[in-house]
Amino acid sequence: MSVFLHAIETAVPPHVYPQSVIREVMKAQPELDRLGQRIVGTIFNASGIDQRHSAIGEFKRGPDEAAGLFYDPATRQMLKPTTGARNEFYIVEASRLFVQAARQVMAASPSLQPGDITHVVTVSCTGFFAPGPDYAVVRALGLRPDVQRFHVGFMGCYAAFPALKMAKAFCEADPTAVVLVVSAELCTLHMHASNDPDTLIASSVFADGAAAALVSARRPSPGTPVLRMDHFETTLTPAGVGEADMAWTIGDQGYDMVLSTYVPSIIETHISGALVPLLARDPALAEAVHSQIEHWAIHPGGRSILDKVQGALNLSAEQLQPSREVLREYGNMSSATVLFILRSLLHSAHDEERVCAMAFGPGLTVESGLLTKLSGLD
C-alpha cells in the first residue's frame, strides 16, 4: 500500500535579519576577544546564508529604545535570560508557529477537512511545555477530541524523519488514517556569544521556522502533486565518531548548541555507507550511482556540509540547488528545514522522478528517505 505526502506548507516568524546584521551584533559582544571577533567575520561571511528569520524582534531596536529580554540596543549587548525565561518565550511564539503552519497545510489540501485528521505528530527540540504543541494544534484547528497525539522532542535536526516514519506506519496500519505532522523550531532563542568556534558556527547558522505536512494513504485527485513515501532508513556513524561533534544540551542560560568544525568531514567520510541500506530497498537503485537519483533534499546544517555531500556523492550543482536555496533564504531551522526543501521539490520535480532526502543530527545520526513525485493517480 502506498502512503503519500499530500501537502507541505511552511511558516516563519515576522522578524527577518540580514546575516550581516547578526554578524555585527555578535562581533560587538564583550565576551569575544580580538581573535574571536575576526573568527566571527570569517564564519558568518562563509555561511552561505543571506538572511534568517527569528521570533525575536529586539535586534531591530534603535539605541534610544528599551532593552528587551534578549538584547539591549543602548549597549549593543546580548542579554542572558535564564533557560526558564527563554522557555516562557518559546511557549508563546512556538505555539503561534505550530498553529500557523498547521492551518496553512490544511488550507493547501481542501480535499482533507479537520474532521478527517486522525493523528497529530508535533516536532521540536528548542523548548518544552505541557499540554504541548500537539494539544495546541488540536484545539486551535478544532480537530476531534479523540485525535491521537504524539510529540517528537529533543532529537535535533533529523527529527522530521522519525515523525514522517510514524505517520507512514500509522497509515499502513489503518488505510483511513490522516496524519498531520507539524515541526516548529525557535533556535535563535538560544544564540549566545563565545570565543569557541563551534559555538560561533552554531550561532551563525541556526534560525527559526516551522513546516507542516499531511500524510495519508488516500489516493490523490488527478493532477494533484504528491510525494509517495517509499522507504526510510536510520543509521549511526561508528561508535565514538561524531558523538560530541553535534550536540544539544540544556544549560542555565538556554540550550548549548554545538556544531563542530569536524562535522562536514565526518559526513563526507560516512555518507555513502549510510545510504547503502536505503538504496538497497529499491532494486533499481541498489547498483546505481548517486547522481542518477534526480533530486536530493539534503538538510543544510551549513554550507560546508552541503559542499562535502555534493563532492562525496558526485552530485551536480543543480541537484543541491534546492538545499542551498533554503539555506540561503532561511538558514538552518533544525528539524523543519528538510520539509522546506521537500515542499520545493513537491512543486518542481516531474512525475515519476525520485527524491532522496537526508538529515544529520546528534549521535551522529543519519536519517534518509526515498520518495517519488506523482501528480495524481488514475
Which active-site residues does the annotation give?
Answer: 157
Task: Compute the radius of gyration of the chain from its Cα atoms.
Answer: 20
Backbone angles phi, psi at 51, to 5 degrees: -155, 160
- The per-residue b/e assignment along 178-191, b for 16 or more CB within 10 angstroms, e otherwise, is bbbbbbbbbbbbbb
The count of other CB atoms within 10 Å of the CB of residue 305 is: 26
> Is 349:370 a contact under the CB 8 Å cutoff?
no
Query: Amino acid letter at 345?
Result: L
**Contact between residue 10 and residue 343 where contact means Cβ atoms under 8 Å apart:** yes
Dump the DSSP string for 222-288.
Answer: TT-EEEEEEEEEEEEPSTTSSTTTEEEEEETTEEEEEE-TTHHHHHHHHHHHHHHHHHHTSHHHHTS
Q: Count Cβ atoms below 10 Å from residue 29 Cβ, excluding itself.
A: 17
Max Cα distance, the chain (Å): 65
CB 166 within 8 A of CB 86: no
Q: Cell 489503518 appears where?
A: 174
Burial bucket for residue 240 (CB in 10 Å: 0-12, 13-18, 19+): exposed
Reported as type and span, the H/E element at residue 53 is strand 51-54
Write out the H or E segment, with its range, that includes residue 25: helix 19-27
Which residue matches cell numbers 562563509? 46
Grid look-up 540580514 returns: 18
Give the span between the Cα atoms of 162 and 3, in whole angstroms.
15
Report d(CA 88, CA 70) in Å as an integer: 13
Residues recorded for the chain? 378
Strands 246-251 and 254-259, by their bridges, are: antiparallel
Alpha-carbon distance of 217 to 229, in angstroms, equals: 10
